[in-house]
Amino acid sequence: MGRTYLKEALRHYGGIMKQYKAIIFDMDGTVLDTLDELTTSLAHVYGVHHLPVRTRQEVRAALGYGYTGLIKRTAPDLDPAEQQKLAEEFKTWYSSHCQGHTHPYDGIVSLLSALQAGGRKTAIVSNKGQAAVSELHEEFFSHLVSFSMGESPRYRKKPEPDMVWEALKRLGCAREDAVYIGDSEVDSMTARNAGLDVILVTWGFRDKEDLERLHPDYLVQSPDELARLLLGQ
């Protein structure tokens, strides 16, 4: 479809939006602001190994590819074996320090509550480790979202479609009745690979201009806009 803004999409459909039965969300940068926690955890691990500490903006640009992807993008000069070792150390540290500064973006809890009240099925899929994903799900979303899936040897990481397809299977929903929502190029590719429409949000880990170049089906700038889009308000 290639729309960018909600108003343009509404004009295209004459004010009537497709009503999705299931909504699959990315976690970091979409429903949860985890940037400070991830930045400080990475600084701890790199400090232990006397590696240059990365800025918040550098970490932001490297997120979306899982723990190993984060290390590869912030310490590209290390050999792969060393990168993998650091990824495991980061996973261990972050899994036990994933709360404190992390919180849902403003308007997300209201959005999820409205979707629940409207009978929509929801799930979260993330490239971060399952331990942290489960902890954050229990802390923030257990009463609002059916389940949250994290990294597992059973499924290939995003942008491969495995986790999205498994989530749809658990929700009992067909691809044509579902939409995927995220904040990065990884999410755009994930949705396309899974055969779902994609909504990208501008409050996460990528700039709006970068998201526009991905030509998502919809690009929204606030959870309130997203609620209107998904609930036809």
- 83-106 pLDDT, tens digit each: 999 999 999 999 888 888 899 999
CATH of domain 35-95: 1.10.150
Report the interhelical angle of 80-95 vs 35-48 (nearest 10°): 130
What's the average model confidence in pLDDT over 153-182?
A: 96
Q: Please give the Cα distance from 142 to 216 (Å, whole number).
A: 29
Delimiting residues of CATH 3.40.50.1000 domain(s) in the chain = 6-33+104-231
Q: Please give the Cα distance from 93 to 88 (Å, whole number).
A: 9
Alpha helices in 96-137 (DSSP H): 108-117, 130-136
Is-cis flag, bond preceding 159, omega within 30?
yes
The pairing of beta strand 178-182 with beta strand 22-26: parallel
| CATH superfamily of this structure's domain 6-33+104-231 | HAD superfamily/HAD-like (3.40.50.1000)
pTM of structure = 0.89
What's the average model confidence in pLDDT over 148-158?
A: 94
- Check whether 18 has a pLDDT greater than 80: no
Counted residue by residue, the chain has a size of: 233
